Chain A
């Protein structure tokens, strides 16, 4: 079962989700949201957390960008660049599936 995998690239139509080995959890001890993965725990800032929460396996990257631009009252173009860069980095680390 050598499924030939390839690096996934972020596109507006891609539908990101958190893979099974990654989850977001509120930690009552530290009063912060943690991202748990096999070896590491990440402490995302507010914007990163907003992006990751929208990686629900239903929304496209385009829809996520539009939603964030509306929420933050920002230009879609600027938001898109940040979101694409963020998701590509997380996808490259296998922390987000596309």
Chain B
């Protein structure tokens, strides 16, 4: 490998796959891990300490639902003692009294709260959880009362894309500094639900105008991050800012991965923390080195002037749609199969229009898919 290897800045820690919600676009793998596969407290603390030594400055504590880990306070305190910036990514449902205050006291820097809808009915339907909307509102209020800065995260798809203006008002009313309007990325569970979730083209265009106008109007009041929908894109996103370039993630069982969907690439094998140190995995893991830098690229990426802007886009999307993890992300207009994206959008609209009611969701559940023997 002839690329310069820099230390990682960010780490996503998926502490558990357990979650009270069953969102049909969950970014966890389709084969979810049960609680008995999760790392224990000591191992996570050791991992966090090694991450800080390696140069990690920010850790996103996620899941599943990370607050289901009863040792979360200890983890936050451990990271905070090392000066690592901690961001808790939560569904905000079923957090016991006093815990949000305890997270703040342990040194939590920021809380990101998901809303499946701007309306209670939408939130409950998408997460398949009665009463979830009200619980989330309460979590937001408690976070603000505990002095925690707040981001509202809104995953967008066919069933809530018309609620984008209401999401903006909701985030403002909750005192959020930041709102993520994040169009669903079609990997894992979302890929299984693609036809049910894919929004129509005109709604996507309206959404872009609404977000742009709101950003202008709310300059200096609230930041809006817009994660644009890949299938409607001209150029791909620089997924993870480039494969294994400055960030990585860790699964509940300690598997260290370049991105949360990397296990969908069958040619790669991944290493577990504990079998090797984090530094050894970051520098030496063949899976990390497989798509690092630009040396792995084929045409049209190899000679493209955007190769160090997009980094070839998403490897997992290339795998899912082009059937080759080293292909150009088909979201890119220069991909030889870029047209396939438009076909998949149209196909989804046709099957949604043809269904007597809405296409039913495959809700995220542990054990929905049979685990390999």
Contacts and interface: CB of A to CB of B under 8 A. Distances in A.
Interface of A: 1-3, 5-8, 19-21, 23, 25, 27, 29-30, 34, 36, 38-39, 41, 91-94
B58 interface: yes
Contact of B57 (A19, A36, A93): A36
Interface in B161-196: 172-173, 175, 177-178
Interface of B: 7, 9-10, 53-55, 57-58, 83, 85, 87, 109-110, 112, 141, 144, 147, 149, 151, 172-173, 175, 177-178, 219-223, 225
B220 A8 contact: yes
A25 B112 CA distance: 22
Nearest to B10: A41
Nearest to A9: B220
Given A2-B173, A38-B87, A94-B177, A25 B57 contact: yes
Given A5-B221, A21-B149, A94-B178, 13 more contacts: A2-B172, A2-B173, A8-B220, A20-B149, A21-B109, A23-B85, A23-B109, A30-B55, A36-B58, A39-B87, A41-B9, A41-B57, A93-B223
Contacts of B85: 23, 36
B165 to A, nearest CB: 15
A13 to B, nearest CB: 18
A92 B149 contact: no
Contacts of A25: 57, 83
A98 B109 CA distance: 20
Nearest to B173: A2
A29 B9 CA distance: 11
A1 B141 CA distance: 9
Contacts of A7: 219-221
Given A8-B220, A92-B220, A19 B149 contact: yes
Contacts of A91: 220
B151 A38 contact: yes
B86 to A, nearest CB: 10
A41 B57 CA distance: 8
A25 B144 CA distance: 24
B90 to A, nearest CB: 14
Nearest to B9: A41
B54 A29 contact: yes
A20 B53 CA distance: 25
A68 to B, nearest CB: 23
Contacts of A5: 172, 221-222
Contact of B177 (A2, A29, A34, A38): A38
Contacts of B55: 27, 29-30
Given A2-B173, A27-B57, A38 B221 contact: no
Contact of A34 (B57, B109, B144, B147): B57
A3 B110 contact: no
A8 B218 CA distance: 11
Contacts of B144: 1
Contacts of B58: 36, 41
A3 B222 CA distance: 13
Contact of B110 (A1, A21, A27, A94): A21
Contacts of A92: 219-220
A39 B57 contact: no
B247 to A, nearest CB: 11
A67 to B, nearest CB: 25
Contacts of A23: 85, 109
Given A21-B109, A30-B7, A6 B57 contact: no
Interface centre among B53, B83, B222 (most CB of A within 10 A): B83
A25 B82 CA distance: 11
A3 B144 CA distance: 12
A98 to B, nearest CB: 9
Given A21-B110, A94-B177, A94-B223, A38 B54 contact: no
